[in-house]
Amino acid sequence: MTIYGNLDFVDKHYKPTKTDVRLAYTVTPIKGTTLVRAAEYIAGESSIGTWTKIMTMNPHIAKTLKPHIYKVDKKRSVVKIAYPELLFEPGNMPGILSSIAGNIYGMKELSKLRLDDIGFSDKLLKSFKGPQFGIAGIRKFTKVKNRPLLGTIVKPKVGLTSEQHADIAYEAWIGGLDIVKDDENLTSMSFNNFDKRMKLTFAARRRAEKETGEVKIYLANITAETDEMKRRAKLVKKLGGEFIMIDILTAGWASVQTIRNYAQKLGLAIHAHRAMHGALTRDKKHGMSMLSIAKISRLIGVDQLHIGTANIGKMEGAPDEVLAIEREIEKEVVYADEVHHALHQDWHGIKPVLAVASGGLSPLAIPKLVSLMGTNIVMQFGGGCHGHPDGTRAGATAIRQSWDATEQGISLSQYAKNHPELARALMKWGKKSVKKRTK
Ligand code: CAP
Ligand code: MG
């Protein structure tokens, strides 16, 4: 008998079916509560239970909607629960998360709870759009076939006028970068109005494309209230843009879904910034894994997603975890590996998402980044471009030179001998400069 009366959720012989949504949680019960008991609290509160046996429960509900706790791993303190997909509204991500990542976090019986992985059922998976363009689509319209897409974020993050922003963007594009991105906290300020920034920066892009003969991309940050985001997306489209950028976690999943639908109408790709993810992902015993956030993002349908730099840059994110996320957003089928991919996931043709490595990167990071994350990524350099001693254009050129050296298998120090911009970047950020800095 459980607290839910005869609603017994534990069934270690249960084999999840294609119509189940599978969840893996790392659970830390309070003292005196067993892992099994904690799992029952989770299974009940996230589905059809409440704190006590209720007289209004009926056998039909129990039969069709009761989840099954099919694995309790005491050693790793992980439980796996299979939920009938009938419990969830197709196409409604906020609704799904209100069950599997809702009240359960607040239950007194749990001192910590982390949602490690979500295995979507086929039907639920197919109720979402997935990326409109995906990796192949992005490579097609940027005309960058095999190498990483190289980009910068205009810095300082905020403070520049629209004119200054556009000028710096022009310098970065002329210096050799493919992408210029607004920073995550740059929206529409008194000193840098969104509409004015768009008009000036897209004009700068046209000049840069004409002068370089290369496709240049502007990731305009439309993050705002949802109706305003739609208005901003429409302006980006009118000015010839191909991408919009959204801070997906501060904007919220419902608005990301709305903008995904609207982006379909406008034919715009979505660059997903993950600002605030650390509030959910940092504690490996509590919150939600970045893997789960990445799967939700791919399912709703972003085209590019920040996933970390595998500890090469300034942000936290261990290499094996970042690489597991890269596999999850790129592969057609991902098999459970009981470490990061707790659950198997067949993506059934949902397009792959282009991984974005960003945060604390300088041109010197490119060889290591490529060796770890490959070339099917976007690399973004904010301080690592505008911090170049000779300014943005030289910083952009140094980044391009670092990629060229990496592609040719030449060491950066060797390549710098006849590439002054890279040489100056090495002087500022190379090992010798670090020694000097520590003296
Ligand atoms: C990078 C960045 C990005 C971070 C986000 C910043 O600037 O613009 O937002 O990359 O981190 O504001 O820090 P720098 P993540 O290149 O100057 O560090 O990609 O891990 O979400
Ligand atoms: Mg930023």
State the distance from the centre of ligand 1 to the C-alpha of 278, rounded, in angstroms. 13
User: Tokens 């009940």 map to which residue?
Assistant: 44
For 91-139, what is each residue's pLDDT tens digit? 999 999 999 999 999 999 999 999 999 999 999 999 999 999 999 999 9
For 38-61, what is each residue's pLDDT tens digit? 999 999 999 998 878 888 888 899
DSSP for 148-179 reads PEEEEE-SSSS---HHHHHHHHHHHHHHT-SE
Q: Are 249 and 277 in contact (CB under 8 A)?
A: yes
Question: Which domains, ranges and CATH numbers included, belong to the chain?
Answer: 20-126 (3.30.70.150), 134-431 (3.20.20.110)
State the distance from the centre of ligand 1 to the C-alpha of 181, rounded, in angstroms. 11
List, in order, residues 6 or more apart from 360 with CB less than 8 Å away. 309, 312, 313, 314, 315, 383, 384
Is the pLDDT score of 438 beyond 50? no
Q: Where are the beta strands (DSSP E) in 175-286?
A: 179-181, 217-221, 243-247, 269-273
420, 424, 430, 434 alpha-carbon torsion, rounded to 10°: 160
Ligand nearest to the CA of 395: 1
List, in order, residues 6 or more apart from 373 with CB less than 8 Å away. 310, 322, 323, 326, 355, 357
Report the share of the chain in percent with pLDDT over 70. 97
State the distance from the centre of ligand 1 to the C-alpha of 50, rounded, in angstroms. 42
**Averaged over 187-194, what is the pLDDT?**
98
Is the pLDDT score of 64 beyond 50? yes
305-306-312 Cα angle (round to 5): 145
Report the share of the chain in percent with pLDDT over 90. 89
**Smallest CA separation from ligand 1 atom 1, residue:** 359
- How many other C-beta atoms are found inside a 10 Å radius of the C-beta of residue 332? 12
For 270-299, what is each residue's pLDDT tens digit? 999 999 999 999 999 999 999 999 999 999
For 239-257, what is each residue's pLDDT tens digit? 999 999 999 999 999 999 9
The more confident residue out of 313 and 156 is 156
User: Tokens 């979402």 map to which residue?
Assistant: 128
Residue of 274, 249, 19, 272 lying closest to 127 (CA atoms): 19
Q: What's the pTM?
A: 0.95
Structure tokens at 115: 């949602």
Ligand nearest to the CA of 379: 1
**Which residue from 150, 153, 302, 361 has its CB within 8 A of the most atoms of ligand 1, so it is best to mutate?**
153
User: What span, in angstroms and rounded, lies between the C-alpha atoms of 117 and 342?
Assistant: 6
Ligand nearest to the CA of 273: 1
Ligand 1 environment, Cβ below 6 A = 153, 155, 157, 183-184, 274, 306, 308, 314-315, 358-361, 381-384
**Smallest CA separation from ligand 1 atom 16, residue:** 382
Catalytic residues: 155, 273
Is the pLDDT score of 266 beyond 70? yes
Which element (helix H / strand E) includes 207?
helix 194-212
State the distance from the centre of ligand 2 to the C-alpha of 317, rounded, in angstroms. 16
Q: Are 130 and 350 in contact (CB under 8 A)?
A: yes
pLDDT at res. 2:
60
Residue of 314, 245, 230, 286 lying closest to 101 (CA atoms): 286
